[in-house]
Chain A
Amino acid sequence: MDTHIGDIELTLTPQGGSAVWRFGLAPERLPAFARAIQEEGGQLLALWGSDDRHLGRGFGLHMVFLSSQGLVWTQADLPAAAPEYPDLAAIFPQAERMQRAAYDLLGLRASGAVDGRKWLRHTAWGEDEYPLRKDAPSQPPPASPTQADAYPFIRVAGDGVHEIPVGPIHAGVIEPGHFRFSVVGDKVLRLEERLGYTHKGIEKRFEGMDLSLGARLAGRVSGDSHSAYTWAYCMAVEAALGFTVPERALWLRALLLEMERVANHLGDLGYLGNDVALSFGFAQFWRLKEDWLRLAQRLFGHRYAFDCIVPGGVTTDLGEADALLDLVRRLRTEVAELKAVYDEHAGVQDRFAHTGRVDPAMAARLGVIGLAGRASAQAWDLRVQFPHPPYDRLEVNMATDRRGDVLARVEVRFAEVFESLRLIEAIVQRLPADPLQAEVPHADGVREGLGYVEGWRGPVLVAVRIGMDGRLDRVHPHDPSWQNWPALEVGILGNIVPDFPLINKSFNLSYSGHDL
């Protein structure tokens, strides 16, 4: 298809039956293209690299943009000897950490970038080693190297300014990362995040896996988004191999995704109550969540429905639809009762409102996406704008809020719980009578595909390349936490340190999904 974005003429190649368009362009044209996307209101969703030298090319720099046309997946080929491309973070700030990661893992350099510090690399490999290159040593070193990490944080100077270093091991049951607060008294002047602690080599691990093992690994990129990742991965594999899965399987995948959204939102709503000392909220929401998880165990043999989504379809059918519908109805009533408590409770509202605010203009500038984006008036939901089956027949209602504070992120969660419960009812009532799986065809050459799913946190993307041998050659999973972590640094500004746990929980971003 020939089209244009701004003044730029594109020849887009459709990825069968989806909203994904592929587009190749020279690296020097990337900034103009990114600017054109931005001018029409689009966003950068993901940026990653690939080693393509075994395919007779150099390195690849990949980006996925949200645009009016759909998801535009661009690839620029970089020379093997000097893999460089122009910095894009000046246009889309969310590119910055992704560019630094592409350098750490593959040695692709963003020329002109302001922040040249390492990002995912700490001590596990050296400055001149690139573990995602195909010629990186396959045998791991026997023990961790003793080199110092030496990460230069940005210092804030002035009268009475001091630093509070937090992490990587946190005080609560949360994932590891480092937060460096610069404060005066209790007031936060600056927060700098340091992530990458849970980097466990997921992308390298994918290489050489068969397609079904790949689905299991994809589901463990960020365990709380298991169904989002397995679906996005399977969608990518199915697009790459050019086959369709039975309708019933697609509807069941949507059921699992919406159940995952409900489970996570219930848990977060409970913790948000807990963080403002309303332990009643914690007990009630976690009671409901436990009921929900136990039902999932009964229906799918696993509390989080792990490994139910596989290439070609799903492994389990919905047995006790009535039990599910009963619990959906009960949850709708009970969550409404609890929402009335949160709404009426002066202390809760006082802590939630105006806390951790990311205003709409800042959210647009940073490319904040998903749940946190919608709470700051960034009206993107892949289920709404680019609905893939069965969402094209479900008419999802998007929840948005303009306030951008903790309260807005709470309100969006409440609205999404009710909407997901409605969707679950609709899915159960309209489940088509198809088989659960289609046979996965063999690859007859190198094949690539992109999957996109609106998980509970935001858009989850998985890009897949299948090699000549039918095994995975390169897989890149992208978590929305990449672009939302910087929003937390902004949201905390001017707030007091004791509100940080509340603000952090209101975003509830993934460390593992980001660190890979």
Chain B
Amino acid sequence: MRLAALSRAARAAGLEAGLTLADARARRPDLDVVAFDPAADAAFLNRVADDCDRWTPLVALDAPDGLVLDITGCAHLFGGEVAMRARLLAHLKAHGLTAFSVVANTPEAARAPARCGLGGLIPPGEEAARLAGLPVAALGLSPAIASGLSRAGLKTLGDLAQRPATPLAARFGEELLVRLRRTLGYEDARIVPRRPLPDCIVERRFAEPIAHAADIEGALALLVEDVGRMLEGRGEGGRAFEASFFRTDGAVRRLSVETARPLRDGPALARLFHERLDSLADPLDPGFGFDLVRLAVLRAEPLAAAQIGLDGRINEEEEVAALIDRLTTRLGRERVLRFVLRDTHAPTRAGALVPAIDGPASPPLAVPEEELPRPITLFEPPQPVEALAEVPDGPPLRFRWRRVTHEVVRSEGPERIAPEWWRTLTAQTVQESPRTRDYYRVENHEGRRFWLFRAGLYERGGGTPRWFLHGLFP
């Protein structure tokens, strides 16, 4: 076992990462050791990254212990780059974190000095001069390349930059040169943010954190109004909204709301958020209060101002869409559904359910005129029954389902439906529906109608075909 990370006191005592535990214990018998848990570290980094969303919506992880924030266009909101950096550091320090931060023109130029424990501001155009003295390890390369470079006597970025590019690329790969160019500011690259950039954002900061449910809803109502105005100006409506609540202790809760059609109507949106707050399994725990509430429009679509028709027709569609929104917000998108028909003979695939919130189905497929009756309910998976037929491949005479015997008086069939072999057969589908099915529509002596099938064919072998009940007719 080796040491993975050290506290400041341990480092001061002369220990270092990579030391074996036995050696460390020998040097300092009073060493306090905790098992290394990379998953918990990653989760914590994610939490910090969530909290850093308050500075800019563009935050990228730099595992295992770094974050890259793209503050383009954000710095002025916090009083400039210098002031912003100071506030960020103060905020992190208040939460008990030690951080090194560098503001620079490119992500790599900021990352390299911060990794070496430096801090500060690198003015544009001065990267090459300022960073020349950094060790090559600051580039964050693989250990093989790093040791190769040090064996070649290239210790600092300045050394590397003076070398001709071609032999370096031939020896250590193109990756090294790209990193170097980006770090020294010759080339720019954007970070890949953890969360997609919303279409628009409105937020409210509170000098005094808010904790009461009424205050939270009040804040949301204000934000909803703001976002409504913003969307109206752009001629758009939102399809997906997300409210983020930043707690003073760094935790962030998010609530999202989707709508079936573009929406920018303040009260309707406020109602949806109210519904969402109501339906939370664990209530929004304000802790010591939220000091920032943000509302982001994750997806916006064009929405022209609507003219209400004299017959109120537009109104009706709006009403149904609003109902779908409300039910979806409360119950979840997988519970409010809409049917779509597919052009296939496979009974389970022919009709599918899709979330209603995704909008009206594409124009329905033309259903063939000569269509055989289909049951109103389908069992998934089909229920095995014991059936008795007069001739092996004839309709059943009687069958037993759920401990009741049904005498068949009328039947129609077989309707032979073969599995769709052109679909990729996964192991599971092979097991479930490997066989051709012969479907029979039967009616029993009591006037109940069933859809039965025999799986498999007699002449193909593979044992006696079994019978299943697949659906019920009204």
A and B pair up:
no
* Chain B residues within CB distance 8 Å of chain A: none
